[in-house]
Homo-oligomer: A and B are copies of this chain.
Amino acid sequence: MNSHIEPVDLKKAYRLINHGPTVLVSARHGGIDNVMAAAWACGLDFAPPKLTVVLDKTAKTRELVEKSGSFMIQVPTVAQLQLTHEVGTHSRFTEPDKLVNAGVQLFSVEGHDLPFVAGCSAWLACRLMVEPGNQEKYDLFIGEVVGAWADTRVFNNGHWNFERADPAWRSLHYIAGGHFYAIGDALSVDEGSKS
């Protein structure tokens, strides 16, 4: 774990994905790690923090999530554009060396038997809240966030600093094909301007 990564208060963990970034989902079971990209991940609750993620039945990562009961959600950066697209379009079922080929490097955090993807801006360790109906009918998985971390060069004191950090730290927002957008300018509402 690089020296810039610090834990995020679980009360503020929702802020790490509130702006709708495309995420990397990773999981570990039986000595196998995998990582995939997902555009369909979303906040679900504040306290305890929960989130949803859609995992297709064709995804090896889904199998690892179901068997291990836990997974990571992490926020990739503009610097990881190619990596994100590759882990989102290649399958470990047909390409056993997928992670090496995509240039994914993993690291560990004590107390969490999960693969953390290096170079991301934020990490959410999740415990699967098993809901067989949602999983089977909708490919919809619910996780309770049990640990959160961020790289302080872009998220500090509970706030994203995209506007002051190097643009390579910006989050990715996938549309379709090879097309993404980066997150853009900060906007603030004057909360006292109308009552």
A interface residues (Cβ-Cβ under 8 A, vs B): 12, 14-15, 18-22, 39-45, 50, 52, 54, 78, 81-82, 85-86, 89, 101, 133-134, 138-140, 142, 159-160, 162, 170, 172-191, 193-194
Contact = CB atoms under 8 A, between A and B. Distances in A.
A140 B52 contact: yes
B175 A180 contact: no
Contacts of A178: 188-191
Q: Assembly of this chain: how many copies? A: 2
Contact of A174 (B18, B173, B175): B18
Contacts of A182: 184-185, 187
Contacts of A12: 176
Contact of A21 (B20, B40, B172): B20
A35 B101 CA distance: 47
A194 B101 contact: yes
Contacts of A184: 170, 181-185
A194 B100 CA distance: 13
A54 B191 CA distance: 23
A138 B133 contact: no
Contacts of A160: 175, 181
17 contacts: A12-B176, A18-B174, A20-B39, A40-B44, A42-B52, A44-B139, A44-B140, A85-B189, A85-B191, A159-B179, A173-B173, A178-B188, A178-B189, A180-B187, A182-B185, A182-B187, A183-B184
A141 to B, nearest CB: 12
A185 B175 CA distance: 13
